């Protein structure tokens, strides 16, 4: 990882994001031990923001306790993927219901805009743009709950599920179907229909979970075959 040259006001958030991105890119290898001192040296920051970031990363599941030896980067496993998506679905199902009930007109317009832009990105074959819009779409729904605590936890588990997907099943791509679901979810939020919003959201994320689990199994099978 490259040092963080600036000293932003929200340094802990910057450190958290940098470590999470390093896990996605496998700059911090799956299963690798991580320490406050080592990360602080790499990022050229003090231990305090690293310690705070690691607490959050451990709480969500990006890093896991390893006995008395400290923390390790979460290893690829079907269990990790499944648990991340199960928690994400539970949180977002409640969030989308609240959003459908509480959203303002401006928030409904924003959710609809992001849904359409995600569909446009798929049509243009722009996968990075779709990934960014996908995350922003789900966080916009969480924000429309007007419950900041729920929105923060949703953001954590969106990031965890997406991290495991990109790292452990990178070949998986159902962006066209996802974008279509986004449009339908946005429509339900716009017309204040929490039942339809939750139903479509659960369908959406359950299909993503199944696809990621299948992709992980296939990747693991190829890895085993290559050593046979």
pLDDT in tens, 91-140: 999 999 999 999 999 999 999 999 999 999 999 999 999 999 999 999 99
- Domain spans of the chain? 11-73, 78-227
Length of the chain as a residue count? 228
Q: What is the pLDDT of residue 137?
A: 98
Region for residue 3 given its phi and psi (left: phi exceeds 0; alpha: psi -120 to 50; beta: otherwise): beta
Read off the DSSP letter of residue 96.
Answer: H
CB contact at 8 A, 16 and 4: no
Q: What is the pLDDT of residue 26?
A: 87
**In the predicted model, is pLDDT for residue 225 greater than 60?**
no
CB contact at 8 A, 165 and 82: no
The position carrying tokens 């179907």 is: 177
Average pLDDT over residues 56-85: 92
Tokens representing 82 are 């499944």
Reported as a single tens digit per residue, the pLDDT across 12-29 is 999 999 999 999 888 999
Q: What is the pLDDT of residue 24?
A: 86
The position carrying tokens 């306790």 is: 65
**In the predicted model, is pLDDT for residue 8 greater than 90?**
no
**In the predicted model, is pLDDT for residue 76 greater than 90?**
yes
Q: What is the pLDDT of residue 173?
A: 87
Measure Cα distances from 68 to 19, 25, 29, 56 in Å.
22, 27, 20, 19
CB contact at 8 A, 171 and 28: no
Q: What is the pLDDT of residue 222?
A: 63
**In the predicted model, is pLDDT for residue 6 greater than 80?**
no
11-73 has CATH 1.20.58.1180 classification: no
Span between the terminal Cα atoms of the chain, in Å: 34
pTM flag (> 0.85): yes
Look at 207 and 3; give whichever has higher pLDDT: 207
Reported as a single tens digit per residue, the pLDDT across 149-201 is 999 999 999 999 999 999 999 888 889 999 999 999 999 999 999 999 999 99
Read off the DSSP letter of residue 69.
Answer: G
Measure Cα distances from 116 to 130, 176, 207, 215 in Å.
11, 12, 20, 27
Q: Domain 78-227 adopts which CATH fold?
A: 1.20.120
């Amino acid at each position: 990882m490259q040092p963080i040259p600036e000293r932003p006001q929200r340094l802990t958030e910057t450190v958290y994001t940098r470590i999470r991105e390093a896990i996605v890119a496998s700059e911090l290898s799956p299963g690798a031990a991580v320490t406050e001192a080592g990360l602080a040296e790499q990022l050229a920051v003090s231990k305090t923001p690293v310690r705070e970031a690691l607490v959050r990363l451990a709480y969500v599941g990006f890093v896991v306790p390893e006995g008395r030896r400290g923390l390790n980067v979460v290893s690829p496993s079907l269990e990790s993927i499944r648990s991340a998506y199960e928690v994400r679905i539970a949180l977002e199902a409640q969030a989308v219901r609240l959003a459908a009930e509480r959203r303002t007109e401006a928030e409904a317009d924003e959710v609809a805009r992001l849904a359409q832009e995600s569909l446009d990105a798929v049509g243009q074959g722009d996968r990075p743009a779709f990934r960014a819009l996908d995350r922003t779409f789900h966080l916009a729904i969480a924000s429309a709950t007007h419950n900041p605590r729920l929105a923060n936890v949703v953001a954590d588990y969106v990031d965890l599920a997406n991290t495991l997907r990109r790292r452990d099943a990178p070949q998986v791509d159902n962006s066209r179907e996802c974008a279509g679901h986004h449009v339908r979810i946005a429509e339900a939020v716009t017309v204040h229909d929490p039942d339809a919003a939750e139903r479509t959201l659960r369908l959406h994320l359950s299909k993503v979970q199944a696809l990621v689990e299948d992709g992980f199994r296939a990747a693991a099978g190829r890895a085993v075959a290559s050593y046979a």
